[in-house]
């Protein structure tokens, strides 16, 4: 039995729609029919074949790690899962033996293998994953929303790194994860949410997601306006989602003494900052954020989505069949005047 899949078949820019065998689940695996898969920024890096991709990716590889679908087969040793269940998956497959895993920090496993990066992913009609990585979705969550739980988990992890109740929060960078963090910060009790980005269309989405104030560094004095909004103090917490050096510097300047930074954005290269003034003398707390806490963050996500406290639907700007992948990646890389946030692909058709 064969299936169609979207793969990096050889080194170089671009992807290819291929026909390949449906994977066979091992004794502790499940086979999932993919109903919806969303494109991640990592997938764009692989499409472009940038320096990171050249170092990390080993073609041939089926891409995709943000997805939802239903179980169609289970391995003989699998317990607690059954055919027909509506599921997603935690993308990091951990070893359970490294120091981080033994300390209960599975998301920081030094030997983690990632679906769609280190093993075949979900831009395909079917994907095979270890049963221990499967997350059973609530039936009332649409497949498109369920497919966003991987990036949403990053936002939830960052927003809950510190107590936001009654705090002034700066969301630095309004890519999809930054946009997702805005309503989470609101639910967590933030009194003021300021969002920054260079893209006016993303800032419009940020306002729709619940930001109180949006600032464009190309037009606005971010540090000056943040201090005005906070009585001269600066924000209590920064959620740094951009990875852009200029944005990081501005965010640290806008942070009040004793403030806290949840740093999720990855920089393209090493950066230099005034460690003494921005961190040590300021008494700042900087917490690196990677992935999602397994499974703590997933339970928080379930509650936020099921109760309706967070609505991610405004972030789904395009829906396309898998065959239209070129259009999808073109939109993400060159949006023009369009509002582009999350694009959903449908490997088994748009039913």
The answer to whether 195 and 180 are in contact (CB under 8 A) is: no
The answer to whether 91 and 119 are in contact (CB under 8 A) is: no
Q: Is 45 a catalytic residue?
A: yes
Cβ neighbours of residue 210 under 8 Å, at least 6 residues apart? 182, 183, 186, 193
Q: Mutual orientation of helices 325-333 and 41-48 as an angle, nearest 10°? A: 100
Q: Is 55 a catalytic residue?
A: no
Cβ neighbours of residue 235 under 8 Å, at least 6 residues apart? 167, 168, 169, 170, 192, 194, 226, 254, 255, 256, 259
Q: Which of 9, 20, 45, 317 is catalytic?
A: 45
DSSP E strand stretches across 264-307: 285-288
Q: Which of 2, 9, 20, 42 is catalytic?
A: 42
In sequence order, the β-bridge partners of residue 268 are none
Q: Is 257 helix (H, G, I), strand (E, B) or coil?
A: strand
Sequential DSSP letters for 103-149 = TT-GGG-TT-EEBTTTB--SSBSEEEEEGGGEEEPPTTS-HHHHTTH
Closest to 128 in 3D by CA, of 73, 57, 82, 90: 73
Return the active site residues. 42, 45
């Amino acid at each position: 039995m064969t299936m169609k899949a979207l793969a990096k078949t050889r080194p170089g820019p671009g992807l290819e729609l291929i026909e390949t065998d449906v994977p066979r689940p091992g004794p502790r695996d499940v086979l999932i029919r993919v109903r919806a898969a969303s494109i991640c920024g990592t997938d764009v890096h692989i499409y472009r074949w940038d320096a990171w991709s050249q170092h990390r990716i080993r073609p041939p590889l089926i891409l995709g790690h943000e997805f939802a679908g239903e179980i169609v087969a289970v391995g003989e040793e699998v317990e607690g899962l059954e055919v027909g269940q509506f599921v997603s998956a935690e993308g990091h497959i951990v070893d359970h033996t490294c120091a981080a895993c033994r300390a209960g920090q599975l998301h920081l496993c030094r030997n983690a293998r990632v679906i769609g990066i280190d093993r075949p992913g979900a831009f395909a009609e079917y994907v095979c994953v270890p049963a221990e990585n499967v997350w059973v979705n609530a039936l009332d969550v649409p497949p498109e929303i369920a497919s966003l739980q991987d990036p949403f988990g990053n936002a939830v992890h960052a927003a809950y790194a510190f107590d936001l109740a009654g705090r002034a929060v700066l969301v630095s960078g309004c890519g999809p994860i930054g946009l997702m963090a805005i309503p989470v910060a609101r639910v967590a009790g933030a009194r003021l949410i300021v969002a920054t980005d260079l893209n006016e269309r993303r800032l419009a989405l940020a306002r729709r997601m619940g930001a109180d104030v949006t600032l464009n560094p190309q037009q606005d004095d971010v540090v000056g306006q943040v201090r005005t909004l906070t009585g001269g103090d600066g924000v209590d917490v920064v959620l740094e989602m951009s990875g852009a050096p200029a944005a990081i510097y501005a965010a640290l300047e806008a942070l009040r003494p004793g403030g806290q930074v949840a740093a999720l954005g990855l920089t393209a290269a090493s950066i230099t900052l005034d460690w003494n003034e921005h961190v040590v003398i300021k008494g700042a707390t900087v917490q690196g954020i990677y992935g999602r806490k397994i499974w703590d963050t997933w339970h928080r996500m379930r509650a936020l989505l099921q109760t309706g406290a967070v609505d991610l639907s405004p972030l789904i700007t395009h829906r396309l069949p898998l065959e239209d992948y070129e259009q999808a990646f073109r939109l993400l890389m060159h949006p023009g005047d369009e509002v582009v946030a999350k694009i959903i692909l449908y490997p088994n058709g748009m039913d």
